[in-house]
Amino acid sequence: MIGIALWSALAFGAFVLVDPVLAWFGGAVGPLADAGTGAARWFGLGQQAAALRDVANVDGLAGGLIGLVRTVAKPAIVILWALGSLALLAAPAILSRLRGGLRASRH
């Protein structure tokens, strides 16, 4: 039961942290792209980098990707939690059968 409690706490923590982590990432995309453009300017490629950034629509692309991850992440965490809980509940029965089978083959 301790294993299930720890597994549930881990899954709950991941479930709760999905939104803040994705919000942080979404807020960091623009400044990171600006920093990349600034580094390109330092090498003399500022205009090309800025044009590429505008054409690629980095902020819109990142926003769409974050939305997709947010849509998929929470259900995936719940499914993984359920599968892990079932595995933890079934583990004692499976291990006892394996031990019993090993004992029978030794005699």
| 81's tokens | 């939690």
List pLDDT tens digits, range 14-23.
Answer: 999 999 999 9
Q: pLDDT tens digits for 66-84? A: 889 989 999 999 999 999 9
Give the pLDDT confidence score for residue 104 in this predicted structure. 57
Burial 54-69 (b: 16+ CB within 10 A, else e): eeeebeeebeeebeee
pLDDT of residue 39: 78
pLDDT, mean of residues 18-46? 81
Amino acid at 9: A
Can you tell me the mean pLDDT for 30-43?
A: 77
Q: In angstroms, rounded to a whole number, what is the distance separating the alpha carbons of residues 64 and 35?
A: 21
